[in-house]
Chain A
Amino acid sequence: MADEQHRAGIRTFLLPLTINDSSGNVVCLFSQSQVVEILGPRPVQQIPCSPAYLKGVLLYQESLLPVINLDDLCNRNRSGQWEPYRQLVVIRTGALDAATGEPLKAVVTASVRVRIEKVSGRELATAFVKTEAPSSLRNSGLLRGFFQRHADSVAVLDLDPVVQGTFHDRLRETRN
Chain B
Amino acid sequence: MKTLFMAQIGRQFFAVEKEWVAGVGIRNDDNIKPVEENGKVYLPLPHGNRAVICDVQALMSGPANSLPSKRGYYLIVAHEEHFMALTMSGKGRIVMADVSKAAPLPSAFNGKSRDVITGVLINCTDMILLVDLKALLAAADWAPPIGLA
For chain B, the bracket of interface size reads 20 to 34
With an 8 A cutoff between CB atoms, is A22 at the interface? no
Q: Which residue of A lies closest to B62 (CB)?
A: A81
Find A47's partner among B105, B107, B125 (CB 8 Å cutoff).
Answer: B105
Residues of A within 8 A of B11 (CB): 43
Assess whether A49 is in contact with B106, with CB atoms less than 8 Å apart.
no
Assess whether B64 is in contact with A81, with CB atoms less than 8 Å apart.
yes
Residues of A within 8 A of B122 (CB): 59, 62, 64
Assess whether A165 is in contact with B107, with CB atoms less than 8 Å apart.
yes
With an 8 A cutoff between CB atoms, is A27 at the interface? no
With an 8 A cutoff between CB atoms, is A135 at the interface? no
Chain B residues numbered 22-79 whose CB sits less than 8 Å from any CB in chain A: 56, 59-62, 64-65
Find B109's partner among A80, A82, A165 (CB 8 Å cutoff).
Answer: A165
With an 8 A cutoff between CB atoms, is A68 at the interface? yes
Assess whether A48 is in contact with B56, with CB atoms less than 8 Å apart.
yes
With an 8 A cutoff between CB atoms, is B94 at the interface? no
A66, B110: Cα distance in complex, Å: 11
Interface string of A149-176 (1 = CB under 8 A from B): 0000000000000111101000000000
A48 in contact with B60 given A64-B120, A165-B109 (CB within 8 Å): yes
Interface class of chain A by DSSP? mixed
For chain A, the bracket of interface size reads 20 to 34
A74, B136: Cα distance in complex, Å: 28
Report B12 CB to chain A, min CB distance, Å.
Answer: 6
Assess whether B129 is in contact with A165, with CB atoms less than 8 Å apart.
no
Interface string of B107-122 (1 = CB under 8 A from A): 1111111011100101
A80 in contact with B62 given A59-B127, A165-B109 (CB within 8 Å): yes
With an 8 A cutoff between CB atoms, is A45 at the interface? yes
Find A163's partner among B64, B65, B108, B129 (CB 8 Å cutoff).
Answer: B108
Q: Which residue of B lies closest to A47 (CB)?
A: B113
Assess whether B113 is in contact with A49, with CB atoms less than 8 Å apart.
yes
Assess whether B62 is in contact with A50, with CB atoms less than 8 Å apart.
no
Assess whether A49 is in contact with B108, with CB atoms less than 8 Å apart.
no
A47 in contact with B60 given A59-B127, A66-B108, A164-B108 (CB within 8 Å): yes
A60, B106: Cα distance in complex, Å: 12
Tell me the B residues contacting A by CB distance below 8 Å. 10-12, 56, 59-62, 64-65, 103, 105-113, 115-117, 120, 122, 125, 127, 129, 136, 139
